[in-house]
Chains A and B, each alone.
Chain A
């Protein structure tokens, strides 16, 4: 449905060096798929979305929407945004303040060729408004609408033409936290119900995981990894991807065997790998929720990745706690529901399949602002 091949765009400002907004991006979004572009600000995700919309012009590569080439650097094709037949929800919603709700939603319909009849337009507007729960609000002027209502009008406007592709640029970032959660659920169910192909930009990984069929994590104009939320969370191919999804224990180490790493915590059994040689410096990532706390029971049988430590501190966060466990001098974060005594000794276990190993030094490339 959306095929992006080798897309690149550079910005050059007078007197400054070239900034690669997009390096060489390849993305394929299947029909009906909900695809999220996730990344920190400046990662190129919005530029990519704007290239698809036609609001930004790439320097090279190709974009094909529903079989139609809308941009091709080689063939010198550029279809302007008004002829791409898209729906788009903007970050500011971009509700035209001089028009009523009806006029806002109807305007894209009036531009359709062949022309639609008046009755048909009214009917389609009503249908679109019903989809977003604004039945009967056609005549309302727009400046007085709340943020949530504006958001819905924007959604209705982008859906009214039944576009092949729906683009959304951080549509929830201007809503307060509770409303955001509510609208997120609605967007998810609407997209599933209409079976519409959606390309969605956000910097919020929770939003991405809840909404997406697939996610592409972007960083400095590159796609680091794309896949389902589960793949990205559990099997990050890049430390920056791991960093992006929640907090992580980063432990430096050295390959002792092809499935074991010597670290400050101890010798850690890790998934088998042929790509690293014994003796390589590596960094190991372990999610706090994967650190199991095992109350000391005399006579317990030592298992694989079983370490002893001491509970140093405890942060209560309502639905869970985060403990700092000192293991071999290393402060290991553990996330759990259980309650253990601060100051006491404890055992921890780290399941081998949950450990990710990356090339040493690669973590330093992560800008500190990238985590969320």
Chain B
């Protein structure tokens, strides 16, 4: 209960003592109630500022007299063939990725939720953990295996099969789309599985009772009921894909296959010429618009209530389909996703990290096994990167939860009229690609602040800010659903007992939310640790993170060293993933 309707001001004409006492109590009350709105406003203010600066810059044109406003950037974007190509590439790339990810995700969700697949309880945690494997890691593995010229799997196939040319080419739009799609299967799966669970099994059962056969049931009842959920997931995943950076950056960038994200990156940090900020702003504004349109459709499809949807474990489940011997095929599909995402890249990178140059495994190749790549890793650089990554890992989830707590409390527990607006703002980073926020921060530091302030040279602060802003949706979704489940009378009993709002949060809400807080913290810590996109955009000399270091080795062509470093990185991440798995098991699958 937040006293949004509180009356302010003191009545004059009453006794001075009374007025003074009332003034004092108002002041105390204000001080006690200030921190929450303050934190909420600052965080959400940043969300708005990052977006506003993009729109502003997109209309800024440089000419002889200085900066003027106009639509020149958009015209250039529209007429420049290079730009047009990048946008077209993005469409093909995203299209392939969507088809691939859902072709896997829909059957897997059905297998995990509606069949007797043995051990199907493992599907969810396995895929959640797969989701945490950095996509740059997966992409590196795929390039090593299926590069048309040097890919070791391709070479091996040419040797083994009666073919003359490499059968697969991952250095292509379709290849990139395939890898992106494979990497997005876990996310798509989590969303679709949620729709399966939210569906009332009685609807299917009544069809069954009325004598409707399995495939008719699937076609006439199950799929139509799932359509909004699947469509929602498609729109959400589409918004992620069109701005995806990791995979295009690893596979496409050095081979001049540009998608939107790598196009913006090269425009922002060109090797020769002066960066064209106006063009970055304009292309980001276009993406922002596309993202918002997709989100708008998504909101309509899902219905507003979905934002609070918590996957409930229903006590009674639908009749499960007995797979019999087909269970093997079921696990083959699930296994394929894990093999493609984790096992193959891991094997490829391990192999490459242990040999001096790319070659197919053979007796001769085994003779050359060496740890030189690990010795050649610039450990001093890496230490700085590790320090930065650890700083992010510790600060980002903590700050996100502090800000998220303030926002969620205002949204769920106050009847402040502005609370709904706060909730919508906090939801924005969920649907606007992270990349856009990174661009916003990049432009903010360069365009809004004088260069001599060197906001970029100030190290890691700006990265922390952007990470926190992009995590605020996840934090508030988790805390919203957590708070909704805590009976409000527990808070009220705290107020009556003499605790103020901060006291109630500290003594009652935080202890009760501790499982949610721990789970969310670990999840966000892992994401902060493995994040490449935003760190790459905001990289400067002092704030390089481990993923950025690995990526720059890769783009510099030091594949074997990059592979060795990536392995070290994944090894560092493993204990955290285990910790997450142990603590988060109960929560896995909630409000992703």
Contacts and interface: CB of A to CB of B under 8 A. Distances in A.
Interface in B1-46: 1, 3, 5-11, 14, 18, 22, 25, 29
Given A53-B492, A82-B498, 4 more contacts: A77-B22, A78-B3, A82-B499, A111-B503
Interface stretch (B372-380, B506-514, B556-564): B506-514
A176 B28 CA distance: 44
16 contacts: A54-B495, A55-B495, A75-B11, A76-B7, A76-B8, A76-B11, A82-B497, A87-B496, A91-B489, A96-B493, A97-B512, A98-B511, A107-B507, A108-B496, A111-B497, A154-B493
Interface string A67-97: 0000001111111111111111011111111
Contact of B3 (A53, A57, A98): A57
Given A56-B1, A75-B14, A77-B22, A111 B9 contact: no
A80 B11 contact: no
Interface in B483-503: 487, 489-490, 492-500, 503
A240 B377 CA distance: 87
A17 B392 CA distance: 51
A31 interface: no
Nearest to A169: B489
Interface residues of B, number: 31
Given A75-B22, A76-B8, A111-B499, A90 B3 contact: no
Among A78, A84, A87, find the residue whose CB has the most chain B CB atoms closer than 10 A.
A78
Given A56-B1, A57-B3, A79 B25 contact: yes
Contact of A83 (B11, B498, B511): B498
A369 B496 CA distance: 33
Contact of A94 (B1, B3, B29, B490): B490
A45 interface: no
Contacts of B5: 57
Contacts of A55: 1, 492, 495-496
Contacts of A85: 498
Counting from the closest, the 7 A-B pairs by CB-CB distance are A111-B498, A108-B497, A94-B493, A94-B489, A81-B495, A90-B489, A88-B496
A98 B512 contact: yes
Among B9, B489, B497, B503, find the residue whose CB has the most chain A CB atoms closer than 10 A.
B497
B153 to A, nearest CB: 54
Interface string B120-136: 00000000000000000
A185 interface: no
Interface string B175-205: 0000000000000000000000000000000
Contacts of B7: 73, 76, 78
A80 B22 contact: no
A53 B496 contact: yes
A260 B487 CA distance: 56
A152 interface: no
A157 interface: yes
Among B7, B29, B500, B503, find the residue whose CB has the most chain A CB atoms closer than 10 A.
B7
B564 to A, nearest CB: 47
Interface in B457-507: 487, 489-490, 492-500, 503, 507
A38 to B, nearest CB: 21
A112 interface: yes
Contacts of A84: 496
Given A96-B490, A96-B493, A98-B511, A82 B500 contact: yes
Interface string A101-120: 00000011001100000000
B492 A80 contact: no
A161 B493 CA distance: 13
A98 B486 CA distance: 12
A65 B101 CA distance: 65
Among A80, A83, A95, find the residue whose CB has the most chain B CB atoms closer than 10 A.
A80
A250 B8 CA distance: 51
A76 B500 contact: no
Contacts of A56: 1
Nearest to A84: B496
A83 B496 contact: no
B497 A80 contact: no
A109 B10 CA distance: 31
A80 B22 CA distance: 12
A294 to B, nearest CB: 54
Nearest to B487: A92
A10 to B, nearest CB: 11
A88 B11 contact: no
Contacts of A167: 496
Contacts of B500: 80, 82
B14 to A, nearest CB: 6
A134 B269 CA distance: 71
A96 B6 contact: no
Interface in A14-66: 53-57
A146 to B, nearest CB: 18
Interface string A343-370: 0000000000000000000000000000
A80 B29 contact: yes
Contacts of A73: 7
Given A55-B492, A76-B10, A88-B493, A96 B508 contact: yes
Contacts of A79: 25
A268 to B, nearest CB: 49
A154 B466 CA distance: 45
A56 B498 CA distance: 16
Nearest to B511: A98
A247 B5 CA distance: 42
A83 B489 CA distance: 17
A90 B487 CA distance: 11
A350 B92 CA distance: 92
B513 to A, nearest CB: 10
Among B25, B492, B508, B512, find the residue whose CB has the most chain A CB atoms closer than 10 A.
B492
B11 A74 contact: yes
B125 to A, nearest CB: 27
Given A57-B5, A82-B500, A90 B493 contact: yes
Nearest to A81: B495
Contacts of A97: 490, 512
Contacts of B3: 57, 78, 80
